[in-house]
Amino acid sequence: MKILATIYKELLLLIRDPGGMALIFIMPLALVIVMALVQDAPFRDYQEIQLEVLFVDQDADSLSAKVKEAFEASPNVNLITKTDTAEAKKLVQAGEFKAAIIIPEHASETLRRKTRQLISTVFSNFGLPADRTDSAVLPVIELKIFFDPAIKANYQQTLSNAIEKIIANVQTSWVLDELQNQLSEGNAEAQKTDFDLSQIIHVSQRYASENKYQGLMLNSVQHNVPAWTMFAMFFILYPLAGNFIKEREEGSMLRLRLISGSQLPVIAGKFAFYFIVCLTQFLMMIAVGIFVMPHLGLSKLVLGGNAVLIFLTASCVAMAATGYGVLIAVYFRTAHQALSFGSVSVVILSAIGGVWVPVYVMPEILQTLSRFSPMSWGLESFNDLFLRQASIHTILPNVLRLLGFALVTVSASVIIHHSRTVV
Amino acid sequence: MSNSVVHLEHLTKQYIKSSKPAVSNVTLEIPEGAVFGLLGPNGAGKSTTVMLLCGLMRPDSGSVSVMGLNVLEHGAVLRKQIGVAPQEIALFPSLTAFENLFYFGRMYGLGADFIREQIKKYLKVFGLTEKAKKPVHTFSGGMKKRLNLIAALLHQPKLVILDEPTTGVDVQTRNMILDFLRELKGQGTTIIYSSHILEEAERICSHLGIIDEGRLIIAGTQSSVMEKHPDCQNLEQLFLKLTGKNIRD
For residues B144-160, give the mean pLDDT.
92
Q: In angstroms, what CA-CA distances link A193 with A167, A179, A196, B9?
A: 20, 11, 10, 114
| pLDDT(A219) > 90 | no
* Residue B177: inside a domain: no
Q: Which residue of B has its CA nearest to A261?
A: B76
ipTM of the complex, rounded to two decimals:
0.85
First to last CA, chain A: 28
Q: Tell me what pLDDT residue B1 has.
A: 45
For residues A246-250, give the mean pLDDT.
85
Quickly list DSSP for A310-367: HHHHHHHHHHHHHHHHHHHHHH-SSHHHHHHHHHHHHHHHHHHTTSSS-GGGS-HHHH
What is the span of the domain harbouring residue B230? 1-81+159-166+190-249
Report which of B179, B211, B175 is spatially closest to residue B35, judged by C-alpha positions: B179
- Count of domains forming chain B: 1
Q: Which residues contact A112 (CB under 8 A, 6 or more apart)?
A: A174, A178
- State the smallest CA–CA distance between residue A19 and chain B in angstroms: 13
Which tens digit of pLDDT belongs to each residue from A65-89? 988 888 888 777 888 999 899 999 9
For residues A276-300, give the mean pLDDT.
92
Residue A255 with chain B: CB contacts under 8 Å: 84, 86, 90, 104, 151
Q: Do B92 and A422 touch (CB under 8 A)?
A: no
Report which of B221, B162, B216 is spatially closest to residue B28, judged by C-alpha positions: B216
Is CATH 1.10.8 correct for A51-211?
A: no
Q: Which residue of A has its CA nearest to B80?
A: A259
CA distance A66 to A231: 50
CA distance B54 to A79: 84
First to last CA, chain B: 36
Residue B15 with chain A: CB contacts under 8 Å: 423
Report which of B127, B121, B153 is spatially closest to residue B140, judged by C-alpha positions: B127
Average pLDDT, chain A: 86
Torsion, CA A94, CA A100, CA A102, CA A108, rounded to 10: -170
- Please indicate if any CB of chain B lies within 8 Å of the CB of A18: no
Confidence of residue A287 (pLDDT cuts 50, 70, 90): very high
The SS3 call for residue B189 is coil
Q: In angstroms, what CA-CA distances link B47 with A66, A107, A254, A393, B200?
A: 92, 97, 12, 56, 19
For residues B191-214, give the mean pLDDT.
89
Q: Which residue of B has its CA nearest to A250?
A: B90
Share of chain A above pLDDT 90, in %: 34
Report which of B26, B64, B13, B50 is spatially closest to residue B193, judged by C-alpha positions: B50
For chain A, the structural domain boundaries read 2-43+219-421, 51-211
For residues A20-37, give the mean pLDDT.
89
Are the CB atoms for A319 and A403 separated by under 8 Å? yes
Are the CB atoms for B160 and B6 separated by under 8 Å? no
C-alpha count within 13 angstroms, C-beta hemisphere, residue A294: 7
Q: Tell me what pLDDT residue A374 has.
A: 93
* Residue B136: inside a domain: no
Confidence of residue A45 (pLDDT cuts 50, 70, 90): low
> What is the total residue count of chain A?
423
The SS3 call for residue A42 is helix
- The domain spanning residue B201 has which CATH number? 3.40.50.300
Q: Which residues contact A276 (CB under 8 A, 6 or more apart)?
A: A7
The SS3 call for residue A194 is coil
CA distance A357 to A237: 23
Q: Do B99 and A16 touch (CB under 8 A)?
A: no
Q: Which residues contact B2 (CB under 8 A, 6 or more apart)?
A: none
For residues B95-109, give the mean pLDDT.
94
Average pLDDT, chain B: 89
Q: Do A17 and B94 touch (CB under 8 A)?
A: yes
* Residue B61: inside a domain: yes
The SS3 call for residue A65 is helix
Q: Do B109 and A1 touch (CB under 8 A)?
A: yes
Stronger pLDDT, A186 or A325, i.e. the higher one: A325
Number of CB atoms found within 10 A of residue A44's CB: 14
The SS3 call for residue A55 is strand
Report which of A259, A98, A410 is spatially closest to residue B103, judged by C-alpha positions: A259
CA distance A120 to A117: 5
* Residue B144: inside a domain: no
Report which of B107, B119, B47, B195 is spatially closest to residue A252, judged by C-alpha positions: B107
* Residue B9: inside a domain: yes
Which residue type sits at B116? R
B83 bridge partner residues: B160
3-state helix, strand, coil in chain A (%, to 5): 65, 5, 25
* Residue B150: inside a domain: no
| pLDDT(A251) > 90 | no
Crossing angle, helix B141-151 and helix B97-107, to 10 degrees? 20
Q: Which residue of B has its CA nearest to A419?
A: B57
Are the CB atoms for B94 and B135 separated by under 8 Å? yes
Report which of B59, B70, B71 is spatially closest to residue B21, judged by C-alpha positions: B59
Of A71-85, A175-189, A385-399, B140-154, give the lowest mean pLDDT range.
Answer: A175-189
Residue A417 with chain B: CB contacts under 8 Å: none
* Residue B118: inside a domain: no
Confidence of residue B64 (pLDDT cuts 50, 70, 90): very high
* Residue B153: inside a domain: no
